Amino acid sequence: MVQPRRAPTGRPGARPGGQRQRRQGRQEGRQQGPRLRPADTTPPTRATEPRASRFTGRAMVLVLVVSVLTISYASSLKAYFQQNSQIQDLRSRIAASQSDIDRLEAEKARWNDPAYVREQARARFGYLMPGQTSYVVIGEDGKPLAPQASLSDPRTDTSSTPTAWWTTEWRSVELAGNPPEATHEKRPLKYLGKNR
C-alpha cells in the first residue's frame, strides 16, 4: 500500500525542511562555542549607525536630467516668445500697410469722378469754370495768401485799437496852434529833394 505524502509544515510556499535546516545550523553554531569579537567593535545601535544618505546616485542622475531638460526648454521658450513678439509686430505692420493700400485705392477711385477732378484743379491750380470769378486775398506783406492759410477773426484781433476820425482831426488842430519846437537837427528844405 502506498502512503500519501504529508504536506510540509510552516509557511505556505516555503521549501520543505527550510526552517529545520536553519535551526540545525544555529544549534551547531552554539555547540561550537561563542564567536569571538574584537574588543574595539561594539554592536551597532541606532545612535552609532551611519545614516543612509537620502540623496542616492539615482536621485542625482534624475536631478541632472531634470535640470538639463529645464535649461533646454527654457531656451526654447525664450526663442518662442521672441518669435511670437516678432510675429505680432509684423502683423501690425501688415495691418497698417493694408489700411494705407485701402486708403490709396479709395483715392484712386475718387480720381475717376469728374466732379472731384474739377474740385482738385480749382483748389490746387486756381482753375475756374467759364463764368466764375476768382478772388485772391492779399496778406499784410502784399503777397497773396496761400489757399490753405486761415484768416484770423477780426473780433478777436487786438493788435491796434482804431481811433475815431474826429479824434485825429482835433489832434491836428491842437498841433497847428502849438507847433513842437524845432530842433537843430531838422532843417527846412530849400530845394525839393536836397538838403544843404
pLDDT of amino acid 21? 58
pLDDT of amino acid 196? 45
Average pLDDT value over all residues in the chain? 76
pLDDT of amino acid 19? 57
**For the chain, domain boundaries:** 56-129
- Residues of the chain short of pLDDT 70, as ranges, are 1-53, 147-151, 154, 157-160, 182-196
Residue 176 has which C-alpha cell? Answer: 497847428
Beta-carbon-side half-sphere exposure of residue 104 (alpha carbons within 13 Å): 6
pLDDT of amino acid 181? 78
pLDDT of amino acid 12? 57
Q: Which residues pair with residue 31 across a beta bridge? A: none
Sequence-separated contacts (24+) of 13-22 with Cβ below 8 Å: none
User: pLDDT by residue (tens digit) across 91-101?
Assistant: 999 999 999 99
pLDDT of amino acid 65? 94
pLDDT of amino acid 90? 96
pLDDT of amino acid 135? 82
Cβ(176)–Cβ(182) below 8 Å: no
Quote the pTM value.
Answer: 0.34
Sequence-separated contacts (24+) of 118-122 with Cβ below 8 Å: none
pLDDT of amino acid 188? 57
